[in-house]
Amino acid sequence: MSEDLTGLRKLTNKKIDKSLEIVAKDKKYLARAIGLKYFPLVVARADGSKVWDMDGNEYIDFLTSAAVYNVGHRNPRVVKAIKEQVDKFLNYTVVYLYAEPCVKLAEKLISITPGNFDKKVTYGFSGSDGVDSAVKVARAYTRRRFILSFYGSYHGMTYGALSTTGIVSENLKASVFPLAGIEYAHFPDPYRNKWGIDGYEHPDELTSRALKEIEDKIKEHASDVAGLLVEPIQGDAGVVVPPAEFIKGIRELADTYGFSLIDEEVQTGIGRTGKFWAIEHFNVVPDILVSAKALGGGMPISAVIGRSDMMDSVPSPLLVFTHAGHAVSASAALATIEAVEDEKLVDRASETGEYIIRRLREMQDKFDIIGDVRGKGLLIGVEIVRKGKEPDRQGALKICWRAWEKGLILISFGRNGNVLRIAPPLNISKEDVDRALDIIESSIREFLEGKIPDGVLDYLKGW
């Protein structure tokens, strides 16, 4: 074990020796840019809302592999669909021939996405390539260049998606020369925004300022705006829920100026926010919708669903991937959607989310370091602050470390890295929820009592 990891071992009484062996090899063999590591947790097994590490430690999962396992780890319906498809064939490219699973999935996606108009679907493997494809569609259809995005947004790490991502600093992106033709505006964060407006008290004023900034950007580029890319609820920015009228406002701008509204539902979709798609909270219909993460129930797949005329504006072969609509992943995705529908997981997400937010706001009354609690369904953010709303990234990281020691997978994220990220499976039990919330409360208390050593910060990269 390296001296670096020996130091880590001294910071906890938790049994982690087997995990540290893999951590050491990870550091040696994997490129450092693939991760933002938090704890020395090496996953050995997962089931439902629980994860076990190489050392046999059990955890309640409040991260779900970055909001992937909406239907729980190894959901029986999903596993069954995967096994049945594997027994038939793994995949055959639909670039040249045809396959049933991706056609059935496309038919289902068209039926459950907003909009009573003709739609078509294209596939990829991650949210990143889904965003790339959506940008291709918007540009091909409008024959325009510029894409409007938002500061604080996270859209992925392929070239197109990275270029539209607003949470990564321009200095970092400059090292790989991102694509041109992207403009950013400020997302209307009710708690923390550039205008200093209390958006909870004055949502109309905040909405007006944000929409004016976007319209100014549109006018700056005359008639060369192809699309506006938006997360209806910003995820990695720290679960930022905009005022209700804002999403309606950008729909109106898209209609007025003739560009495409791209709804990026990679993190917020498949029931996560207490609606099947987060944009449904705002009663807005997008032109193009991007889904990934939870769509495959753990298998890699993305889908872009859009107006047929828009989707067909892209000339062949510009949406081609050899394994697009992979038969195993498409089968898993169909089973995932069926599980969400049959188990009424959208309703469960809404009900459980309301309960968690209520408990967290009770903690907010006890602890001044909780500046804001926000979210929809089971996408929830808890902002950790010092006096005067100053973001406390180190405090958030320490709380996450102690939660890990106590048996809860909890990480921090956000524009300032100070927001606790709560995104458990939608079918998590009440017992696991209560246990996890008790761990969060005790971890906050122990942080305030100074019981978490500063040394842990050397091993918590995080956002």
SS3 sequence, 166-194? CCCCHHHHHCCCCCCCEEEECCCCCCCCC
Q: Are residues 109 and 257 in the same domain?
A: yes
Q: Has residue 1 got a pLDDT over 50?
A: no
Of 296, 300, 321, 331, nearest in space to 86 by CA: 331
Domain check: are 136 and 227 in the same one?
yes
- pLDDT band (50, 70, 90) for residue 2: low
What pLDDT sits at residue 7?
Answer: 86
The predicted structure's pLDDT at residue 433: 98
Q: What is the CATH number of the domain that holds 396?
A: 3.90.1150.10
User: Tens digit of pLDDT for each residue in 182-218?
Assistant: 999 999 999 999 999 999 999 999 999 999 999 999 9
Enclosing H/E stretch for 118: none
Collapsing DSSP states into helix, strand and coil, what is residue 395? helix
- What is the per-residue burial (b if ≥16 Cβ within 10 Å, else e) of 389-409? eebbbbbbbbbbbbbbbbbbb
Long-range pairs for 42-46: beta carbons < 8 A, 24 or more residues apart: 42/18, 46/73, 46/74
Question: Sign (positive/negative) of CA torsion 91, 95, 101, 102?
Answer: positive
Are 317 and 362 within one domain?
no
Query: From residue 48, how far is each of 58, 79, 274, 382, 425 by CA, in Å?
Result: 12, 12, 19, 24, 8
pLDDT value, residue 388: 84
The whole-number average pLDDT for the span 155-165 is 96
Task: Identify the domain boundary among 343, 367, 401.
Answer: 343
Mean pLDDT of the chain: 97
**Would strands 146-150 and 182-185 be described as parallel, antiparallel, or unpaired?**
parallel
Considering the domain architecture, whether residues 141 and 39 belong to the same structural domain is answered as no
**Which pLDDT belongs to residue 6?**
83
Phi, psi of 364, deg, nearest 5 = -60, -35
Residues 337 and 350 in one domain: no
AA identity, residue 375: G
379 and 432 assigned to the same domain: yes
Asked if 187 and 298 sit in the same domain, the reply is yes
Band the pLDDT of 33: cuts 50, 70, 90. very high
**Does 425 reside within a domain?**
yes
DSSP-assigned letter for residue 319: T
Task: Identify the pLDDT of residue 92.
Answer: 97
Q: Is the pLDDT score of 224 beyond 70?
A: yes
pLDDT digits (tens, 9 = 90+) for 379-403: 999 999 998 899 999 999 999 999 9
Residue pLDDT, tens place only, 56-94? 999 999 999 999 999 999 999 999 999 999 999 999 999
Q: Kind of pairing, strands 408-409 and 58-61? A: parallel
Answer yes or no: is 209 within a domain. Answer: yes
Residue 463, in any domain of the structure: no
Residues 189 and 110 in one domain: yes
Q: Which two tokens stand for residue 76?
A: 């029986």
Would you say 237 and 187 are in contact if contact means Cβ atoms under 8 Å apart? Answer: yes
DSSP secondary structure code for residue 455 in this structure: G
292 with 424, same domain: the answer is no
Is 297 a member of any domain? yes
Same domain membership, residue 334 and residue 205: yes
Residues 132 and 235 in one domain: yes
Does residue 223 form part of some domain? yes
Q: What angle, 0 to 180 degrees and rounded to 10, lies between the N-to-C axes of helices 327-342 and 345-366?
A: 70
Output the pLDDT for position 9.
Answer: 86
| E strands in 157-285 | 182-185, 225-230, 260-264
pLDDT tens profile 247-304: 999 999 999 999 999 999 999 999 999 999 999 999 999 999 999 999 999 999 999 9
pLDDT at residue 149 above 90?
Answer: yes
If one counts the domains in the chain, the total is 2
Instruction: Report the predicted TM-score, pTM, of the whole model to 2 decimal places.
Output: 0.96
Final residue in a domain of this structure, among 343, 372, 392: 343
**Digit-coded pLDDT (tens) for 322-364:** 999 999 999 999 999 999 999 999 999 999 999 999 999 999 9
Which of helix, strand or coil describes residue 420? strand
Q: Does residue 441 form part of some domain?
A: yes
Whether pLDDT at 3 is above 80: no
Residue type (1 letter), 120: K
Residue numbers of the domain that contains 433:
5-68+345-458
Q: Is 236 within the bounds of a domain?
A: yes
Q: Are residues 391 and 321 in the same domain?
A: no
What CATH number is given to the structural domain containing 165?
Answer: 3.40.640.10
DSSP state string for 8-63: HHTT--S--HHHHHHHHHHHHHS-GGG----S---EEEEEBTEEEETT--EEEESS
Cβ atoms of 332 and 326 closer than 8 Å:
no
Choosing from 343, 364, 380, the residue where a domain stops is: 343
